[in-house]
Amino acid sequence: MSLIRIDRSEIEKMGRIERLNLINSCTGYKSANLIATIDNQGHTNVAVFSSVTHLGSDPALIGFILRPTTVPRHTYKNIKEYGYFSVNHITLDQISDAHHTSASYPENISEFDCTNLEPVFHGGCPVPFVKGSPVKLLCKYVNEYLIEENGCIHVIASIEAIFYEDALLNNDKWLQLEKGNVMTINGLDGYALPKLMERFPYARPKK
């Protein structure tokens, strides 16, 4: 199989969609999550994100990337207004509806009403979660950082509560996401189902 090289000058000459596809897929598989929010008037919103990442376990922090706010970003508005949101892992049977949440609906239209995704509230938590998601995080807005190079925003949040299906839990508190048919995203629109091949112990230098 031959190896193809594309330099930056060639990338910059590519059409917008081709460039989006190439750059978004070349960095590898990403998390597939639905971020659900609510505003102070009780209006819900849910949107697919592929940029949720672990930032630390003590304290428990996550981050995700928001594209520039040159157009309305309802998820961002709700998070800044209400302060809390949920992160929900996407399963195999949710991918079509999850992907549809990337469509640009007006602020007064909830994606929950335009898909088969259902909001559900757990344990008195103030924000909606996605019914059927096997792992759900209640998150609290902590901070944000503007990425000056492209105008994106890195949102930082603390994990306030974790909800997960008991079948996923191993004895050492490790969640085996494969058991919940948790998806990943390849590029912008490719959904993949990972399979666990091996789990290794903590790596230490060889003596």
Strand partners, 88: 34, 136
- What's residue 187's pLDDT? 95
How much is the pTM? 0.94
- What's residue 73's pLDDT? 87
Sign of the CA dihedral running 106, 107, 110, 111? positive
d(CA 104, CA 162): 29
Query: Are residues 121 and 129 in contact, defined by beta-carbon separation less than 8 angstroms?
Result: yes
- What's residue 76's pLDDT? 95
- What's residue 12's pLDDT? 94
Neighbours of 183 (CB within 10 A): 22
- What's residue 152's pLDDT? 96
- In Å, what is the CA distance from 80 to each residue of 28, 40, 44, 91, 143? 30, 11, 14, 28, 10
- What tokens does 57 get? 């376990």
- What's residue 45's pLDDT? 95
- What's residue 13's pLDDT? 95
Query: Are residues 172 and 181 in contact, defined by beta-carbon separation less than 8 angstroms?
Result: no
Domains in the chain with CATH codes: 29-192 (2.30.110.10)
Q: Mean pLDDT in runs of 10 for the chain (207 residues)?
A: 94 95 95 96 94 97 92 90 97 97 89 95 92 98 97 97 97 96 96 95 88
- In Å, what is the CA distance from 26 to each residue of 19, 21, 153? 11, 8, 21
Sign of the CA dihedral running 115, 88, 85, 146? negative
Amino acid at 196: L
- What's residue 188's pLDDT? 92
Half-sphere exposure of 194 (CA within 13 A, CB side): 18
- What tokens does 71 get? 């157009």
pLDDT tens string 171-200: 999 999 999 999 999 999 999 999 999 999
